[in-house]
Amino acid sequence: MSVHRGYLAEGPRVGIRPFAYEDGGEFIARVRESRELHHPWLAPPASPDAYASYAGRLIEDPTKAGFLVCEKGSAGAVAGFININNIVQGGFLCGALGYGAFAHAAGKGLMGEGLDLVVRYAFGPPLRLHRLEINVQPGNAASIALARRCGFRLEGFSPEFLYIDGAWRDHERWAITSDMRER
């Protein structure tokens, strides 16, 4: 995995880089193109003010890390995003992942490559986390398939876990630990 052109890490087809305020225009356009794909699973920011607030939290809050998954063969077009939320250091060394593909890139394997890069980055310096979790609504087959493909294991079920799209939604809990990656 080499790093250049502003990427924190890169694979054969994608690179990951941190969110920047300057990405707002492209990000918002991709969100608007992807409404059908995202609903009812997630609602990323779709206006300049919402993006600025969202990106600001990912850029400035040390308990969060946000990554744009960019296509290397298309001048860095944003294919999706992956965030590590609720990062806890100390004895826990854990974070919760959230992600979304954009419609033009969905189903092409780019998010799998991007998620693998984020997991490697999270388990290495500077974060050195031990555990990453993904909470997925049981009906979100694409997200569950992505978690499974990237080596996450199903650990349980949480009823009424997150408030999404006007209701408390059940979620499956998927996780991976740094020692699972070493096997």
pLDDT band of residue 6 (cuts 50, 70, 90) is: confident
- Side chain identity, residue 163: Y
State in Å, rounded, how far the first CA of the chain is from the last one.
19
**Rounded to whole angstroms, how far apart are CA atoms 136 and 86?**
16
pLDDT digits (tens, 9 = 90+) for 38-62: 998 889 999 999 999 999 999 999 9
SS3 of residue 3 by DSSP: coil
Report the 10 Å Cβ neighbour count for 7: 21
pLDDT band of residue 14 (cuts 50, 70, 90) is: very high
pLDDT band of residue 2 (cuts 50, 70, 90) is: very low
Contact 130, 178 (CB under 8 A): yes
pLDDT band of residue 1 (cuts 50, 70, 90) is: very low
pLDDT band of residue 74 (cuts 50, 70, 90) is: confident
> Closest Cα to residue 69, out of 59, 58, 54, 80?
80
Say whether domain 9-182 belongs to CATH 3.50.50.60: no
Mean pLDDT, residues 157-168: 93
pLDDT surpasses 90 at 73: no
Q: How many helices (H) and strands (E) does the chain have?
A: 6, 8
**Which pLDDT score, from 0 to 100, does residue 165 have?**
84
Give the contacts of 93 (CB within 8 A, at least 6 positions apart).
128, 129, 130, 131
Q: How far is CA 91 from CA 63, 85, 94, in A?
A: 15, 17, 9
In angstroms and rounded to an integer, the radius of gyration of the C-alpha atoms of the chain is 15
Q: Domain residues of the chain, as ranges?
A: 9-182
